[in-house]
Amino acid sequence: MIRETVRLALYQPDIAQNTGTLARLGACLGVPMDLIEPAGFDISDRNFKRAGMDYADRAIIERHISFEAFNEWRKANGHRLILGETDGATRYTDFVFQPGDILLMGRESAGVPSSVYEACEASVHIPQVDGTRSLNVALAAAMLVGEALRQVS
Ligand SMILES: C[S@@+](CC[C@H](N)C(=O)[O-])C[C@H]1O[C@@H](n2cnc3c(N)ncnc32)[C@H](O)[C@@H]1O
């Protein structure tokens, strides 16, 4: 049974299937999702619906028209913002997550700009084998959400 939870935010996602997959993850694990627009697709996209299946209808998805609007909203509601990025400062298993944390994932094509990086309270990385560039965003998000929930729930 899930008692406490975290949130998952996607920064201007490009690929409908990844967002649909994560909507399904959020629906199943009780993790609300914040979609920071503009996105490279609309959530009426059939690829989003196909990846999210019927679970997407059960997902709690808050849409934010810009990063600035999202950032104001999360600060006003007392959420810490924790960026997942390949060069994040702390190994994700060494980071102490708190209930209410928002895990922010970057755009598939470009991650996040430095201004977004700087707005975050902390950043974490999943260690990779030398010479590999990055994980798929949905898989990276699933690993971070799994670790955060293990700690807080
Ligand atoms: C395809 S990656 C973007 C890669 C790279 N930052 C870039 O600009 O090309 C998309 C997102 O997945 C997440 N991600 C991928 N690999 C990760 C890792 N090893 N640790 C933490 N997050 C990761 C990050 O949120 C990243 O912004």
Return the best residue to mutate from 109, 137, 139 for the ligand 1 pocket (most ligand atoms within 8 A of CB).
137
Residues near 23 by beta carbon (within 8 Å), at least 6 away in sequence = 33, 48, 51, 52, 55, 56, 59, 61
Q: How far apart are CA 55 and CA 59, in angstroms?
A: 6
According to the model, what pLDDT value does residue 6 have? Answer: 97
pLDDT, residue 46, reads 81
Show the ligand 1 pocket: residues with CB < 6 angstroms: 84-86, 88, 105-106, 108, 110-111, 125-126, 128, 134-135, 137, 140
Per-residue pLDDT of the chain (153 residues; tens, 9 = 90+): 555 699 999 999 999 999 999 999 999 999 999 999 999 888 777 888 887 778 878 889 999 999 999 999 999 999 999 999 999 999 999 999 999 999 999 999 999 999 999 999 999 999 999 999 999 999 999 999 999 999 998
The residues, any chain, with a CB within 8 Å of residue 39's CB and separated by 6 or more, are 10, 12, 13, 14, 19
Write phi, then psi, for 42 (nearest 5 degrees): -105, 150
Find out whether 121 and 98 touch, Cβ atoms under 8 Å.
no
Render pLDDT for 76-85 as a digit per residue (tens, 0 to 9).
Answer: 999 999 999 9
125 Cα to the center of ligand 1, angstroms: 9
